[in-house]
Structure formats: C-alpha cells, structure tokens
Structure 1
C-alpha cells in the first residue's frame, strides 16, 4: 500500500502508487489519502499540491470494487460524517490543487479530479463515471460537482449512461485545462505549480475559498465577503511585500504572514 507524498520548493506531490491495480483504492488507501490531504492542508510549508497516479496507465480508477464494497462497513459509519474526509468529500483544502492525469480517470478518480482546481491530462486519458453500470452511484461528489461543472445535458449523459469520454471531449467541455503529450502531465502540472507557488499564499487561499463559496451565496453576500477578506489581506505582510518588490523591480519574497 502506498500513497506517496513528496515536498519540493513549497509544492507537494501526492502520488497514488498502486499501478498493479490501476491505482484503485481500498479502505486502507482511502484512509492514507485522507491523512495526506490533512498534511497538505495543515503544513504551512506547502503552498500548492499536485495529485497524480503512478505507472502511466491510470490516474486512478477509483474504488477497488473487489475489496471496497465487501459489506464489512457498519451502517453506523454513515453518520460518522467527519471520518476519513477526502478532498472530494468535505475536507476543506484552500491551497491550490492540480491534477496530473494520464490514462484512465474513472469513477472515484474522476470525482477526485472534479475537486481539484487545475487539471492537466495527457493524450492517453479517458474519463467516465460508470458506477450505474455496477448498481452504484458516483459518490464523493460525482453527482454534485459534475452537474455544476458541465452543461446539464452533458453531465446527465455521463451520469446516466456511464459511458467514457475522450480527453479531447473533456477539454472541449472545460473539464480539463490542457492536453499534453503522453507521459508529460506531471511535468506540465509542475510548471503550473511553480507559477502558482510564486504568488502570495494567503491571497491564493483567500481567492480559492471565495470563488468556491460563491456557489452557495447570493451575489450581494459574496461581494460583501470578498470586501471583508480583501480588507483583512491588506493588513498582511505579504500585501506590503508585493508593492515593495514591484517598486524595487525584484521578485517578491512572500512568507504567508
């Protein structure tokens, strides 16, 4: 079992490392992934995270159906709503998260992707939420985020047929940011991460939170919240460093304070 975490220059890379099972995840892997996301959330040394899959054949195909749905989980777990939270199931990670996708991005892999902010996919990638073909639903945000990130008819076609779409179709409908050559998604994601990590970390987290919370707010409330957060940020050290660096014609040295 392996959910790998490496940190370099404020960029965390989370790798689902189970290529022999197309990076499918059982209960142990989901628990380990939850721990890693909490580390990303809480570690001030991390400014941006990338999530990817090992082996090149799959980002992740989601839940390992041979072990995940064995019937061993007590029904009472349904009300342990804070247990084992994931990025795509309620865990609030306001640091930017980038998906680096190669090969199959299926089921829980796609719902994980939907919870990330920027998505890079190589030309071998395919996408589907095929749970209805197995008597299940795409949980962990599948029925919720897909309908908000795609036109209604396209989202419903994916949810109800369970059929896969190509990487070109995913790009056309805005599910991914860009297509890159096979095997280069992680490199492209790192390029994004370096550019993002150079920005002020408090401002990054504030911008992400405000944008995501706007989905549940009326415009007047969202504008007021934006005003309050902008005022708070103006008192930060980073807000002083940014203009100072600009005036001195140098790169800013942001500290997240």
Structure 2
C-alpha cells in the first residue's frame, strides 16, 4: 500500500497503489497523495504530472469509507484549511496534470479526476459520483467542478442520481480527451505529458493559472491579469528562446526562466 512517485524526463508519474481495495484511499494514502502533489508543485524538475491507479481494474474508488464515515475529526481541524492539501481540495498547482483512468473512477476518485487537465481512459473505464446513495455528497470539489465542466442537467444527473456512465459517454460529454485500449493507456498519457513538458514551462503554468482564476473573476479583471502575466513573460529567457528557435527552424530548448 503506497502512493508511488516516479520522475523521468520532467514527468512525474503518481500511482495510487492499493489495487486490493480498488485504490481506495484511507488517511495514510491521502497524506501520501498530498505530499506527492506538494512535490510536483515545488520541484523545478517536474513540469508535468500523470496520476493513475495500480492494476487494471480501478483508477480509484475514492475514500475508504470505513476509515472516514464513522469517525469525527476534532472540530478545530475544520479551520486548518491548508493542512494536507490535495489537488482537488484547493492546492494551487499550475503545472499540468494528466489523468490515466484504468478502470473504476468513483466518488473521491472522480473528484480527483475532475481536478486534472487532460484525461485519457481505457475502454472499460466507468465513472460515478455515487455518494448520495451512501448518505453523503461528493466533497473535495465534487459539487463544484462537475457543475463547472458539464451542462447543468448533466451535472445534476451525475450528482443527484449517482448513476454510472461508461467511457464512451464520458467522451461524448467532454469529460475525457481520448478513450483507448487498456494496453495503450499509459503510453497515450505519457505522449500527452511529454508534449506538455516540451513547451515553455512558465507559459504553460501561466495559461493554466489564468484559466482557473477566470472562474472567480469578472472579464475586465481577467483581461488585466492576462495582460500583466503576458508582459512579465515577454522578458523571459524562454520567450527569447522561442523566437530564436522559430527563426532557426529548430526545436526550442526551454529552461523555465
């Protein structure tokens, strides 16, 4: 049981490794996942992350309900809003994240999935926000992101009925970028990741941050922030490298500065 972290070619692969429990996460796994996301955020050698689950049956079934529902945390912890931050619970991570969904993507696994940027799933993958069938609702961003990413009636169908959809439906609804054969899942995710890592890191991060922050800003404020970020990056070494590489008809060698 672990959260595995592997870094190669500026791509961090994070694997929820608990296949015997459909990669459901207890407190220890959530803590390990928080540490992994923090490393992705802070390590300059990481430009992109891939998140997946061990085995071929499940991405993640979400929280291990037996370890959470029956326990009450001390009330003061409600106000420790920066403790154990997760990608889907408010951690500000502007590096792109690719989801490789290798099976069941349920409950908290799906709220994690909804916090990623590019998404690939195997043909046998299924998706569900089924918490209402267990007397709770999808927290850690579940009620927020599904409504942002899907039309209202479709979001309500997922949230309030708790039914399961298959990979083709997820593709049709725009929840995933590609549906692939199981054997092609990780190679497809890695292809996305390497292409992302080859782009200018600061430009990629700025673009992601602007998109995410636009959800909470009026257009005038968003345009102004966009202008300020653009002006800042105009003077970067990567911007100069991009122009030089274009003029010299070669691939750019971005350094993130």
Give the C-alpha shift of residue 148 in structure 1.
Answer: 0.8
* Map of 2:130 onto structure 1: 130
Using the alignment, how far apart are the partners of 1:56 and 1:68 within structure 2? 26
* Map of 1:156 onto structure 2: 156
Using the alignment, how far apart are the partners of 2:194 and 2:82 within structure 1? 32
* Map of 1:116 onto structure 2: 116
CA contact (8 A) 1:102 1:183 kept: no
Give the C-alpha shift of residue 68 in structure 1.
Answer: 2.3
**Is the counterpart of residue 142 in structure 1 residue 139 in structure 2?**
no
**Is the counterpart of residue 43 in structure 1 residue 35 in structure 2?**
no
Using the alignment, how far apart are the partners of 1:61 and 1:99 within structure 2? 15
**Aligned pairs (5 A) from 1:221-232:** 221-232=221-232
Q: Compare 223-232 and 179-188 and name the one that shifted more.
A: 179-188
* Map of 1:206 onto structure 2: 206
SS of equivalent residue, structure 1 residue 174: coil
**Aligned pairs (5 A) from 1:35-114:** 35-114=35-114
Using the alignment, how far apart are the partners of 1:65 and 1:229 within structure 2? 42
Q: What runs of 5+ residues in structure 2 fail to find an aligned partner? A: none
Using the alignment, how far apart are the partners of 2:28 and 2:176 within structure 1? 29
Using the alignment, how far apart are the partners of 1:166 and 1:156 within structure 2? 17
CA contact (8 A) 1:200 1:255 kept: yes
List structure 1 runs of 4+ shifted beyond 6 angstroms: none
* Map of 2:15 onto structure 1: 15
Using the alignment, how far apart are the partners of 1:194 and 1:71 within structure 2? 42
Aligned length: 257
Q: Deviations over 1:64-87 (max 9, x none)?
A: 012122315222221111111000
The Cα RMSD (Å) is 0.8
TM-score by length of 2: 0.98
Give the C-alpha shift of residue 219 in structure 1.
Answer: 1.0
Using the alignment, how far apart are the partners of 2:127 and 2:134 within structure 1? 16
Q: What runs of 5+ residues in structure 1 fail to find an aligned partner? A: none
CA contact (8 A) 1:121 1:178 kept: yes
TM-score by length of 1: 0.98
